[in-house]
Amino acid sequence: MAKRDSTDTRNKGRHRAGHAVVEVALMAPWIFFLFVGVLDFGFFAYAAIATQNAARVAALYTSSGSSVAADAAGACLAVLEELRWLPNVKNGQVTNCNNATVSLTAQAVTGADGAPASRVTLSYKTIPMIPIPGILAHQFTFTRTVEMRLRD
């Protein structure tokens, strides 16, 4: 029986390690692409949820009475407080709800059941993110409308 030389075993390990480096080098761009996509999708999902919550808070404020049913200025304060963690709203970058980033309208309407109601429409434009052609756009504008019956 012939003895194996220890250098044969070491060379086999090096050869396999070389394959692993090549495989990682080939997969790295795809892993990076996947990471960027997940990061962008997470941010956009958070922005959509925050926009929906802010619209609900504004509708809750405007539905508290007929005197504030169309009070967009008061609802704006509640909206900005709700959106305060979004990157282009925090640190006082947005101070009103009539600009390119945040747009808010509030109006007194008649609800589906014939009772007085308040309707709030909120639009939020995200910051530019890394575009992924065919999957994610560079920016999104989320618009949510909430109608709530007046409580008085």
Domain residues for 98? 6-149
At 15, the pLDDT band (50, 70, 90 cuts) reads: low
Q: How many domains does the chain have?
A: 1
Decide if 80 is inside a domain. Answer: yes
What would the two tokens of residue 37 be?
């996509």
Decide if 113 is inside a domain. Answer: yes
Q: Considering only residues 27 and 6, tell me which one the structure prediction assigns the higher pLDDT.
A: 27
Give me the helix-helix angle, 6-62 and 72-82, nearest 10°. 160
pLDDT, tens digit (0-9, with 9 covering 90-100), for 35-79: 888 888 899 899 999 999 999 999 999 999 999 999 999 999 999
pLDDT value at residue 66: 92
Is pLDDT of 96 > 60?
A: yes
Q: Considering only residues 136 and 91, tell me which one the structure prediction assigns the higher pLDDT.
A: 91
Q: SS3 helix, strand, coil % of the chain, rounded to 5?
A: 50, 20, 30
Q: How far apart are the first and last CA of the chain?
A: 98
Cα–Cα distance measured from residue 143 to residue 22, given in angstroms and rounded to the nearest whole number = 46
pLDDT value at residue 14: 55
Q: Considering only residues 131 and 143, tell me which one the structure prediction assigns the higher pLDDT.
A: 143
Decide if 69 is inside a domain. Answer: yes
Q: What is the residue-wise DSSP string for 97-149?
A: SBSSSEEEEEEEEE-TTSSEEEEEEEEEEPPP---BTTTB-S--EEEEEEEEE
Decide if 103 is inside a domain. Answer: yes
Is pLDDT of 131 > 80?
A: no
Share of the chain above pLDDT 90, in %: 57
What would the two tokens of residue 58 be?
């504004």
Decide if 110 is inside a domain. Answer: yes
Decide if 1 is inside a domain. Answer: no
Is pLDDT of 17 > 60?
A: no
